[in-house]
Amino acid sequence: MKALKTALLASVLAFGVQNAQADEITIKFGHVGAPGSLFEKSVNRFAEIANAKLEGEAQVVPYGSSQLGNDSQLLRKLKLGTVDLALPSSIMSSVAPEFSLFEMPYLIQDREHMKKVRDAVVRPKLYPAAERKGYRVIGVWENGFRQITNNERPIDTPEDLQGIKLRTPNGEWRVAMFKSYGANPAPMPLSEVFVALQTGAMDGQENPLVQIYSQRFQEVQKYLSISNHVYTPAYVLAGASWNRLPEHVREVLTASAEEVEDYALEQGAQLDDELLAKMKEAGMQVNEVDTQSFIDNSGYIYEKFANEVDGGQEMLDRVEQLRSDG
């Protein structure tokens, strides 16, 4: 009899655990970052923080390496509610024109400047722009300062880009900027870039060091030119499923995303230092560009932004005011 009671009790407990697990909400977080990327580190840190607070109520499950789709596909899935969170970066300029602020070359001075811009410009200006398009930004992380790689020659001035087939992220602004520098830019999903570089379909690409290294571009690219031409944030983005989540879950996810903001910046800085050395060890020829020559050739894209984006000049002025030397 005692054994029977023990067995019954175990069955009841197991049934309760199964029910609790069945009631736990799964939150799918898709991103394009490869293993070792800053995206992967940031998303995993976020999941660790959020899951500890939501144990038994909800669980964040990361899906990296474009498992749930490239950035364009993830944006569509957010709209459909089949993915709950994603981490888009440059592609947000094609969602709402205000996000093209971060397509402006040499806009962000350093990561301390970015912190100020995040709080004074991104939250009050870009968050509402995303909401008008059916999305919700709950945190601002990092993609990073972008550098140019190619197989033709070192890039010192914009003239050196003449004729180079350069992969860019999807979005008209990066294409327009590199066309003005003389390159032949072509948008392409990140997951397709390695083969394009390997086969010569593309001569080069531009990305933060952490994306370059985690995507193994150093294996198929000869020249790395440190240009820091654009700083790109990454946005923790929710879509149609957001309002279906319990209020407490939404609060925890938002607080956790904001908690990871400074972590992402710190990791980005650390990885930049570590990975530059690894690129050199891998045999890449590294040079620093003539920054002033790029700045001098960037007037066109700033004028385009100021003229075509509502409130564009106001945002540019505010970012300039936040610079440490402003």
At 244 the pLDDT is: 97
What is the Cα–Cα distance from 222 to 133, expressed in whole angstroms?
40
What is the Cα–Cα distance from 106 to 279, expressed in whole angstroms?
23
Q: What's the CATH code of the domain at 218?
A: 3.40.190.170
Is 3 a domain residue?
no
SS3 category, 208 = strand
Is 27 a domain residue?
yes
Tokens 């030119």 correspond to 225
Tally of CB atoms within 10 A around 251:
12
Is 5 a domain residue?
no
Is 8 a domain residue?
no
Is 325 a domain residue?
no
pTM for the model stands at 0.90
At 324 the pLDDT is: 85
At 170 the pLDDT is: 84
Is 189 a domain residue?
yes
At 22 the pLDDT is: 55
Is 7 a domain residue?
no
Q: How many domains does the chain have?
A: 1
Residue 54 makes CB contacts below 8 A (sequence gap 6+) with 60, 249, 252
Is 28 a domain residue?
yes
Mean pLDDT of 109-128: 98
CA dihedral 103, 233, 185, 302 (to 10 degrees): 10
List, for residues 171-212, the tens digit of each pLDDT value. Answer: 889 999 999 999 999 999 999 999 999 999 999 999 999 999
List, for residues 253-309, the tens digit of each pLDDT value. Answer: 999 999 999 999 999 999 999 999 999 999 999 999 999 999 999 999 999 999 999
Mean pLDDT of 143-151: 98
Q: Tokens at residue 103, please? A: 């397509």
What beta strand segments (E) does the chain contain? 25-30, 58-63, 85-86, 136-150, 165-168, 184-187, 204-208, 223-226, 231-238, 285-288
Q: Which domain holds residue 141?
A: 14-319
